[in-house]
Amino acid sequence: MKKSIFVFIIFFFLSLFVSCACFFNDTGTLWVENKSQRGLTYSVLVDNINYGTVGPGQRKSFEDIPAGDRILVFEVYPSGQIACQPAVVHIPLCSASNVISCDY
């Protein structure tokens, strides 16, 4: 009985640590959607840092984005041409943004 309580306590504290990591790192999640009618893939840049790509028709989340107001840019991959006007997006702490889309 004591061993199972000890194991429960360990898992409880580990789950708290994992769920609180965003507070320590001051991060949130960005959701984006590629609505390209031309079948283009976009690179997703936040404050000039490339977080990856999103394919045509794809909706994707990017975690560990610094929380606060950020500049979001969609570029055509691999050319680097700006696909949609840069936008200021708010990344909420330990939460997810609204879905931001581009339809170049």
| Angle (nearest 5°) at CA 82 between 89 and 80 | 115
| pLDDT of amino acid 8 | 63
Per-residue pLDDT reduced to its tens digit, 16-46: 555 578 999 999 999 999 999 999 999 999 9
Domains of the chain by start residue, with CATH: 26-102 (2.60.40.10)
Non-local (6+) Cβ contacts of 76 within 8 A are 40, 41, 42, 43, 82, 83, 104
| pLDDT of amino acid 11 | 58
| pLDDT of amino acid 5 | 73
| pLDDT of amino acid 7 | 62
Non-local (6+) Cβ contacts of 5 within 8 A are none
Q: Residues in the chain with pLDDT < 50? A: none
| pLDDT of amino acid 20 | 75
